[in-house]
Structure 1
Amino acid sequence: MSTDNQNTKGNAAPEGQAYAEDVSEQRQIRREKLKALQEAGRNPFLQETWDVTAHSRDIKDNYVAMEDEEVSIAGRIMTKRVMGKASFFDIQDKQGRIQCYVKRDEIGTEEYKWFKTYDIGDIVGIRGIVFKTRTEEISVHVHELVLLTKSIQVLPDKWSGLKDPDLRYRERYVDLIMNEKVRDTFIKRAKIEHEIRRVLEEDYGFLEVTTPTLATIAGGGNARPFITHHNTLDIDMYLRIATELYLKRCIVGGLDRVYEMGKVFRNEGMDQRHNPEFTSMECYMAYGNLESVMDVVEQIVYKCQMAVNGTPIISYQGKEFDVTPPWNRLDMTDGVKQITGIDFHKIDSDEDARRAAIDYGMDPEAVKDWTRGKIIAEMFEDYCEDAPGLLDGRIPVFVTGHPVEVSPLAKRDPEDPRITRRFEVYINGWEVGNAFSELNDPIDQYERFAEQQRELDLGLDDEAHPMDRDFVNALEVGMPPTGGLGIGVDRLVMLLTDEPSIRDVILFPTMKPLTSE
């Protein structure tokens, strides 16, 4: 067993003064060990580097070729068993864990004495020979051992681990050390983001660009922004809620296929699928349309799933989804009819639409100023998005036919000008993507902005899109027919890594600060 005095209740300052004092005592012991090292001229914090030539999994996977070879490895001590003149300990590096074997007579009595004082969590550098123990465990026989960093904090013990969700998110650095699945999730996330870029750039010829995070207008979406103030200019500015309008300006300028993957910010609620700071990928392709963009999103999701899991079948929380293209399609108005029985295809006036909504049970006060299109969109959101079997089936669903009233940046459908050439893509009943055949008529765009601004000014919709005259000016210069797509990267990562909460796929999710008395 380890010689380290381990705490068995985790790493947080818990309820109960006795435990707080216990943690403090253990940390003090480690501080005293550090002081002894420093007084002996062995200050670990003066170490600058270590030449790493191999990692744990590489050694295990290539044991036949590496047996009896000298390797130089580094990592964190995770277990330690001192047995008189010899000891076994495990170190953890970026690939996993590997056992190490050290003998007093080989590294010297003085060095071995110091090694016995090392704690779980200390970071060491090791040079040694690859071998197998009598129990056939691939290990490293140590002939040089150097303490690179002294851990002052006490890690949770290996049995109870770090399980409290709030603590895991607050101390993600400890979570990553203690939980292999967490490390694997964020390694997969990196692969997913890499694959998104690869598909866009190599398969479709997109160019990655960077657009402003701070803007004077919170445009490109319908959401509450975070507001800040620029002191020099003495103006309020907004953290971006979307990258759309700047990317479309790039299309106007002749960069025919552009994308950006980065943070956007929305001052809204927090739950299992929402964090105020999240990652979005938006791409725009000149001379593309809704069908072009459907192909792009299908390929992104399919190839990301294959890259990280090796199968087109997503297994998520006990359910399975086949993302092999092509995917299903559903008209929004048809979806409302399927769930509520109301056929808005046969209802033309706003008044009749309001009456049908009220008869179904919607609040008369809420719908009194709504148009037919607004009612369809609200009924779909309220009654259809969570309806079993509609959007959460085995095959992803493209929902089309969004009303103009809720799609201020999408091109009208030439066969029915009340709706737009827009889709939202659903997997597991979640919206993971939103796309348009982009509106490029500057007069129509101005009129839609004006109507949204009116709703904003009258307090009818505090998430309505504000007027953006410079964007209208860009459209007047001329934007070619364009297909655009936005994907919520965090939700996609949740699905592909089987994680139940968005906080499980964001390294450092937004948390309410702890208050101290």
Structure 2
Amino acid sequence: MDNSHISEQEQIRRDALKELKNLGINPYPAQAYPADTTAVEILKGYKPETENFKQVTLAGRIMSRRIMGAASFMVIQDHTGRIQVYVKRDDICPSEDKTLYNTVFKKLLDIGDIVGVKGFAFITKTGEISVHAQELVLLSKSLRVLPIIKEKEGQIYDAFTDPEQRYRMRYVDLIVNPHVRETFVKRTKMVNTMREFFNNRGYLEVETPILQPIPGGANARPFVTHHNALDIPLYLRIANGLYLKKLIVGGFPGVYEFAKDFRNEGMDRTHNPEFTVLEIYVAYKDYLWMMNFTEELAEKVAIELHGSNLVPYGDKVIDWKRPFRRLSMIDAI
């Protein structure tokens, strides 16, 4: 196999992978790992006087290491945050064989590897809540090199900030910039809040066709495909509203859909050819009712996501408290 495209660091990791296999260590074990604690649970809940967290099992990705003699430190990151782990040779290698520490931990593990740790919580001499490892197991060997973000005296160096790289390698962005996860969490919370809002009012969530014989409901260029069995062209929908209106005609009092729409047009950071749209249709209402309904929905979402109707946006604060100021189209222009 041609490895000319592999960097020196990636080749070193592949060599470590081979050595792990030679030692009889499966670098990608299939069995479940019984993690029962998270980093944040320990950091927020550990109280030395109560001797809680005397036995913890957690899993995470190695984000940094300080290799010393018979004892070392590493920082692992799970989905809740980061925590320091103290690794002592004689604790993870109680027998005469010290290979796990001297060879595996010190030489064959790398930043980015996912490990499982069993041990107990304690506070170091410098006052940092940590986990004292009594068992260490490799859960997944990382062959790609993560960007290493350095911090000194409050200054960040080598940050992973290039927008092109961040959007193309979102998985890396999520690892090295954990705060990005909050965007994903808030999006899910927003959708769930809206869905609950609609359901509590008796409106029905539906799914309408994505492949359509006629792309309607908006003025946009569609993506075109071909249905082989019927030998006809089909289009990815540019809007979903027409099918929702048909359901209202059929007798439903209210229907809504979180839909994926597609428009084969220009794109930039805020316009994607594939995007999510919410449409809701309710019978026997008018635009004044819909204005009140939208205000109530917007305020509820703001409070659910931010705990307040005041939401910071850039250097401004937006107040989502009802009622909103209303303008006619002529006045707005």
TM-score, shorter chain, exceeding 0.5: yes
Contact 1:23–1:154 (CA under 8 A) maintained in structure 2: no
Q: Deviations over 1:25-60 (max 9, x none)?
A: 110000000001111110211333211101111222
Give the share of equivalent positions with the same residue, in percent: 50
Give the corresponding residue for 1:96. 81
Give the corresponding residue for 1:174. 172
Of 9, 18, 25 in structure 1, the residue corresponding to residue 8 of structure 2 is 25
Output aligned runs, 1:72-151, within 5 Å.
Answer: 72-108=57-93, 109-113=98-102, 114-116=104-106, 117-151=108-142
Give the corresponding residue for 1:48. 31
CA separation in 2, counterparts of 1:72 and 1:83? 24
Output aligned runs, 1:59-74, within 5 Å.
Answer: 59-64=42-47, 67-74=52-59
CA separation in 1, counterparts of 2:24 and 2:77? 27
Give how far 1:89 is off. 0.7
Give me the TM-score of the superposition, normalised by structure 2.
Answer: 0.90
CA separation in 2, counterparts of 1:335 and 1:163? 38
CA separation in 2, counterparts of 1:231 and 1:186? 37
Alpha carbons of structure 1 residues 23 and 157: separation in structure 2 relative to 1, 3 Å = farther
Of 207, 218, 223 in structure 2, the residue corresponding to residue 221 of structure 1 is 218
By percentage of residues, which structure has more helix?
1
Give how far 1:21 is off. 8.0
Q: Equivalent residue of 2:289, what SS? A: helix
Q: Deviations over 1:226-281 (max 9, x none)?
A: 12111211111111111111112222222222111121111222234311111101
Give how far 1:214 is off. 0.7
Give how far 1:118 is off. 0.6
Give how far 1:105 is off. 0.8
RMSD: 1.8
Q: Equivalent residue of 1:328, what SS? A: coil
Q: Equivalent residue of 1:44, what SS? A: coil
Q: Equivalent residue of 2:180, what SS? A: helix
Give the corresponding residue for 2:153. none
Larger Rg: 1
Contact 1:34–1:43 (CA under 8 A) maintained in structure 2: no
Give how far 1:171 is off. 0.9
Contact 2:112–2:145 (CA under 8 A) maintained in structure 1: yes
Contact 1:162–1:168 (CA under 8 A) maintained in structure 2: yes
- Structure 1 stretches of 4+ moved >3 Å: 20-23
Give the corresponding residue for 1:325. 322
Amino acid at match of 2:222: P
Gaps of 5+ in 2: 151-157
Q: Deviations over 1:148-178 (max 9, x none)?
A: 1000000001221322111111111111101
Q: Deviations over 1:449-484 (max 9, x none)?
A: xxxxxxxxxxxxxxxxxxxxxxxxxxxxxxxxxxxx
Give how far 1:299 is off. 2.3
Q: Deviations over 1:177-215 (max 9, x none)?
A: 01122112112111111111122112x222211111110
CA separation in 2, counterparts of 1:310 and 1:88? 38
Amino acid at match of 1:115: F
Q: Deviations over 1:318-360 (max 9, x none)?
A: 1222111111222222333xxxxxxxxxxxxxxxxxxxxxxxx
Give me the TM-score of the superposition, normalised by structure 1.
Answer: 0.59
Alpha carbons of structure 1 residues 46 and 310: separation in structure 2 relative to 1, 3 Å = same
Highest relative contact order (Cα 8 Å, sep 6+), 1 or 2? 1
Q: Equivalent residue of 1:83, what SS? A: coil
